[in-house]
Chains A and B, each alone.
Chain A
Amino acid sequence: MQTAAAIKNNEMPDALLNQSGEALGVAQVTADHTPTYWVAAKDLHQVMRGLKPQFPMLYDLFGIDERHRTQRPGQPAADFSVVYHLLSFTDKGDIRIKVALIEPGSVPTLVDLWPAANWYEREAWDMFGIIFDGHPNLRRILLPPLWEGHALRKEHPARATEMEPFAMSEELLDAEQEALLFKPEEWGMARESDETEFMFLNLGPNHPSVHGVFRIALQLDGEVVVDAVPDIGYHHRGAEKMGERQTWHSYIPYTDRIDYLGGVMNNLPYVMAIEQMAGIEVPDRAKVIRIMLSELFRISSHLVFYGTFAQDVGQMSPVFYMFADRERLFGIIEAITGGRMHPAWFRIGGVAQDLPVGWDRMVREFIDAMPARLDHYDKMAMQNSILKQRTVGIGKYNTREAIEWGVTGPGLRATGMEWDLRKARPYGGYDQFDFEVPTAQGGDCYDRAVVRIEEIRQSLKIIRQCVDNMPEGPYKSEHRLTTPPPKDRTLQDIETLIHHFLNVSWGPVIPAGESACMVEATKGLNSYHLVSDGGTTSYRTRIRTPSFPHLQMIPLISRGLMIPDLIAIIASIDFVMADVDR
């Protein structure tokens, strides 16, 4: 384990040194070994500007309420902190910058450096009341416009029983509806130009093609999108707040429902982040089982994407074939886990159960049948000339823009960037597998689909390797913080019995610390940043989801196009609103 002293100033990136070579940052040790530095708010902008060439993507930005935290050795005093997670696509890894705030403090906005910062800063303001100086439009983003207070502050109750029962009266309903009325002037939009009068159209929250409850307020000239304002938050359920009240173990089922098409893929970054903090080494069999199930869910999610993509450009049939395939896949998931869409099957230190007898036959049947079916779909949908006309060259962005806006996953790879976390920084045993990283060059709607479809084939390849080489051994770690702990020896000695009893009834006590773990999820990079204060629950659970920044980019890539193009763009982004709003 590194200590703070071991991170010497001369290891600091140059950007963290001022002209006279003094350090602007204070190092902090985290369980995930990501270099983490505390920086004063006044130096933030300069530091970030210096870091940007090496760490081009603003991967995440969030707040932490530090006021109730007891164990923060060596960290500057703070009521709140703002955490910036920057990503490099080289072997430099990541860097995390933190700013301590004493209430009422403010930090400078980074919108001028990274356009992606816009929504993240709005979210931090929404949740904590942290003010970002110079932000162009610091308003609520996830919570309703009439909400009072800031939900992720510790004084805000996390349980319904701690507050008055909620009731939606007629007056409140009217007021909320009134508050949702789109006011073009607030977004600097004109109502008419010299030539034409603009139409303002609410596309969503209740609309067949916005994949959930999601509104895009459109400024239209005829059918041409002049400007667009995505409005999210309709699906917000306070998943991060819930993380602060559930035990480490009992939060796992909540993660399934973040990207609700990704199933156990969501469990993975969460349990891996805890395992990092607790120092649990996961046995090989559990690793391979995890990878196999995650890849099955990647296929499942991509199949839904494929079908709805075709459907949104008006092709009626493919979605039924793909859902039928997904049913077959869910049959396997059900046989293995007992659940279908949300199995919540990974555990801290392993998985819930061993694989059932005969599992390999089912999986083999599926992966043997799929390639031929994919070829068939390719002919039916992807090679259809109308579908190509509707999607080729539509919704284009290039690699630089993708990185500026925080785009990850297939959306990034479709711009020609061959960067997959599973290859670039293998986690959870992916280094043992042989697969390729599919890319495309155009960065348009069609290419995003091409990349995903090729990823289905690569996932099949990975799953086949899992089936062929499934290691023997335990499916769960022997570590005492494994949850629920192995029960075999509980009836033999009292110590094990006590541990088992406590870990099952209270849940495990995870050592104080911080850890983040990212995975290449179905829709892009998904990570959980967990803060433990040495208790049975998380002190702060930050869920960074890929869909959130992807939606922020919609106006950029849809201006000047028509409504049908916008629908194709929405379909090609592949998001679910639960993944955006959490």
Chain B
Amino acid sequence: MSNPESAELLPFIVYFCAVVLLVATMLILSWLLGQRRQNKSTNMPFESGVLSVGSSQIRLSVEFYLIAIFFVIFDLETVFIFAWAIAFFELGWYGFFAILVFILVLTVALIYEWRSGALDWGVKTRTGIGES
């Protein structure tokens, strides 16, 4: 521990170990102290008190993956903004306009997604309403 950097890290390592220890203790204690009960329906999944039909491991609509894709896109882009933010004053107006262009591109992408309806999740109205 001669290296000053690792010396600074030491409290964190201790803290980290303590956290893990705490979590482990909680799990083990409850395993030791917990009651054991077993009846007919203990090992059934909860579905409002009746038997479940079909599996819960199913194919899902594409909407959910779209969100994931958006996230990947936008979260990666934000990394560049992070880098700019930290050096904001050094980069001055030059950096500002550079990132402005970047943000505009992002905004255009957002507008495109918006317009293409990819941001409208399940906004549907009931089907088959009659006339009065």
In the complex, A touching B (Cβ < 8 A): yes
A199 x B130 contact (CB < 8 A): no
- Say which one of A135-143, A181-189, A480-488 lies at the interface with B: A181-189
- Take A181-B53, A223-B122, A400-B132 as given contacts and tell me if A202 and B127 are in contact as well, using a CB distance cutoff of 8 Å: no
Residues of A within 8 A of B92 (CB): none
Per-residue interface assignment for chain B, residues 47 to 67, with 1 indicating a CB less than 8 Å from any chain A CB and 0 otherwise: 111111110101111111000
Determine if A156 is an interface residue (Cβ-Cβ < 8 Å).
Answer: no
**A196-B132 Cα distance, complex, nearest whole Å:** 34
Which of A202, A204, A223, A557 is packed against the most chain B CB atoms within 10 Å? Answer: A202
Report yes or no: A559 in contact with B54, Cβ–Cβ below 8 A.
no
B132:A180 contact, CB within 8 angstroms:
no
Interface residue count for B (Cβ, 8 Å)? 27
Residue of B nearest to A174 (CB): B40
Residue-wise interface mask of A (182-216) relative to B, using a CB-CB cutoff of 8 A (1 in contact, 0 not): 11100000011001111111111111000000010
**Contacting pair B51 A221 (CB below 8 A):** no
B37 to chain A: which residues have CB within 8 Å? Answer: none
B36 at the interface (CB under 8 A from A): no
| Contacting pair B50 A202 (CB below 8 A) | yes
CB distance from A322 to the nearest CB of B (A): 26
Which of the residues B51, B63, B125 comes within 8 Å of A181, measured between beta carbons?
A: B51
A182 touches B53 (CB 8 A): yes
Chain A contacts for B56, CB-based, 8 A: 199
Provide the residues of chain A in CB contact with B126, threshold 8 Å: 395-396, 556-561
Evaluate contact between B58 and A215: CB separation under 8 angstroms: no
Q: Cα distance A316–B7 when bound, in Å?
A: 49
Is the C-beta of B129 less than 8 angstroms from some C-beta in chain A? yes
Interface string of A542-562 (1 = CB under 8 A from B): 000000000000001111111
> Are A561's CB and B48's CB within 8 A?
no
Interface secondary structure of B, over-half rule? loop
CA distance A471 to B47 in the complex (A): 56
Contacts A195-B61, A199-B56, A222-B60; is A399 near B132 (CB within 8 Å)?
yes
Contact mask A338-373 → B, CB, 8 Å, 1/0?
A: 000000000000000000000000000000000000
Q: A215 with B48: in contact, given A199-B54, A222-B64, A224-B124 (CB under 8 Å)? A: yes
Which of A182, A222, A415 is in CB contact (< 8 Å) with B61?
A222
Interface range, A side? 35 or more
Tell whether B8 is near chain A: CB-to-CB under 8 Å.
no
Residues of A within 8 A of B127 (CB): 559-560
Choose from B50, B63, B124, B132 the contact partner of A215 (Cβ within 8 Å): B50
Is A224 touching B122 in the complex (CB atoms < 8 A)?
Answer: yes
Query: Residue of B at shortest CB range from A173?
Result: B40
A395 to B125, CA, bound (A): 9
A562 partner residues in chain B, CB cutoff 8 A? 122
Q: How far is the CA of A173 from the CA of B40 in the complex (A)?
A: 10
Residue of B47, B48, B56 with most chain A CB atoms under a 10 A cut-off: B48
Q: Check A398–B49 contact: CB distance below 8 A.
A: no
- Asked if A59 is at the interface of the complex by the 8 Å CB criterion, the answer is no
A393 at the interface (CB under 8 A from B): yes
Interface flag for B131 (CB, 8 Å): yes
Q: Cβ of B130 and Cβ of A401 under 8 Å apart? A: yes
Within B20-70, the residues touching A (CB, 8 Å) are 40, 47-54, 56, 58-64
Q: Which residue of A lies closest to B58 (CB)?
A: A197
Cross-interface CB contact of B51 among A177, A197, A207, A222, cutoff 8 Å:
A177
Chain B residues with CB under 8 Å of A181's CB are 50-51, 53
Closest 3 CB pairs of A and B: A206-B49, A398-B132, A197-B59
A-B contacts, 28 of them at CB < 8 A, read A173-B40, A180-B50, A191-B54, A192-B59, A196-B59, A196-B60, A196-B61, A197-B58, A199-B58, A202-B48, A202-B52, A205-B48, A222-B63, A222-B122, A224-B122, A398-B132, A399-B132, A400-B132, A401-B129, A401-B132, A556-B128, A558-B126, A559-B126, A559-B127, A559-B128, A560-B124, A561-B124, A561-B126
